[in-house]
Amino acid sequence: MGQGKSEAAFTVVPDGSVTTPKGFKAGGLHCGLKKTTRHDLGAIVCDVPAAAAGVYTTNVFQAAPIQVTRESIGAGGVLRAVIVNSGNANACTGKQGEADAYEMRGKFAEAIGVPAEHVAVASTGVIGELLKMDCVRSGIAELPARLAATYEAGDDFCQAILTTDLVKKEVCVSVEVDGRLVHVAGASKGSGMIHPNMATMLGFVTTDAAIGSEALQKLLRRATDLTFNMITVDGDTSTNDMLVAMASGLAGNRELDERHPDWAAFADALTYVCEVLAKAIARDGEGATKLIEVQVRGAVSDEAAQAIAKTVIGSSLVKSAVFGADANWGRIIAAVGRAGQPVDPETVDIRLGGIVTLEASRPVAFDEEAALEYLKGDTVVIHVDLHMAEGAATAWGCDLTYDYVRINAAYRT
């Protein structure tokens, strides 16, 4: 089954960041794009040409930086750097927006002494406003001096990519490949406009594993389908979503491919990094008070299970019930039934944590007080078993609160 993995194959690095894998530096600063003094420009730079891969939003209206990054990675599957701004999405900004994204790429490439096509660009923030390029230019001139291979520099980068996020999102693991220690690390942002098929998120993965661009692309796509494409906050898919991975190869292992004996272990480590970041985005949903996890088992296929899990996690009624600590399983079964997937209406079980509320599609008497206490917790797991076949999937989201409306009613102000 797609989402299972053995955590024993890798080890979480408590103080790791995107700078932990060999060859990577990062940094961030405030250049004036945000109204506050929070960092709003950051970069990750690799000392050597890194194998690169990318996954992008499915929204038809794709922001200018996505065009630039697609072009950079497509030129040879190699990157030396990614530069990111927050506070402005540079989306729906026409020819000027495209020119600004290319200027960001060119100016930063010149500042660090690499070819322009070896630099990716990402932006996040308000849609439809032109970048303040005087601020960007001055920030790019200052940014190289802020780059370092330290945890603090990695933290500065994490802070620079945030918008309405309340917390930074980062993770690092180590895994043994050919007897050598390989690191996989990631940083992401995302809080609102989050929906499967990428979210309003930016994600960046660094690793010192030796792996080719095509193999990395395959693993990144698979990891995305199991993690970032299985989260939702509000049902909206952004114009700017991007996930970029860079591999320096400096760990010294034999190049990874599907025939390598440690391929599965590395794949599990990469997927774990993406899962931690995806769940952190869901937990930090705008106004959210709880992380919701929906586990679907017994579907006719993994794809059917994914569709059902996404439908349940995306239901405003389910999200509202969890916010109110209301054990209203009827909203869950209704979402299961409208997911457009095969379901036997006589065989469905539903549990809230360990509390059985439905068995063989029939109500089960349960302790309402116990259910209330469970739903008041900061993590709620909804189990759905269809008892049809072996398909399974897990999706993540958050509750729908009054604060979500408040935050998004005044996003531009």
Active site residues: 200
Query: What is the spatial distance between Cα 39 and Cα 33, in angstroms, rounded to a whole number?
Result: 9
CA distance 99 to 121: 12
CA–CA dist 49, 64 (Å, integer): 24
Nearest to 17 by CA among 153, 120, 115, 219: 153
Q: Which amino acid is at 174?
A: S
Query: CA 39, 45, 49 angle in degrees (round to 5)?
Result: 160
* Paired tokens of 175: 């895994």
d(CA 198, CA 384): 24
